[in-house]
Structure 1
Amino acid sequence: MNGLAFLIPVALALSLGGLAAFFWSMRDGQYDDLDGAAYRILIEDDEA
């Protein structure tokens, strides 16, 4: 029982931290251009 009293708040804190990180990345524009990175790897840069 003492283990549950410790693990439940830890699990809730970790899940809220993950949710906060997800919303922060959404607000920061991390997922705006999902296809751009996939196409950029195919474009050859001509560097002289």
Structure 2
Amino acid sequence: MNIIFILIGISLLLALGFLGAFFWAMKSGQNDDMYTPGMRVLLDDEK
């Protein structure tokens, strides 16, 4: 029964880590330009 409490604690820490990484990515501006990556595929030059 103790292992359930340990696994719940680990999963909560992991979820908080991913949530922190998401907020850090949003704060640092990694999702500012949503238009250019989609157009880069269409305008890729072949050599």
Q: Shorter chain as normaliser: what TM range?
A: 0.7 to 0.9
Residues of 2 paired with 1:31 and 1:18: CA distance?
16
Residue 38 of structure 1 and its aligned partner are, at CA, apart by 1.1
Gaps of at least 5 residues in structure 2 are: none
Gaps of at least 5 residues in structure 1 are: none
Q: Pairwise CA RMSD of aligned residues?
A: 1.6
TM-score (norm 1): 0.78
Residues of 1 paired with 2:20 and 2:35: CA distance?
25
Instruction: Give the % identical residues.
Output: 47
Partner of 2:25: 25
Residue 43 of structure 1 and its aligned partner are, at CA, apart by 2.7
Aligned to 1:41, the other structure's residue is in SS state: helix
Which segments of structure 1 move beyond 3 Å, counting only runs of 4 or more?
none
TM-score (norm 2): 0.79
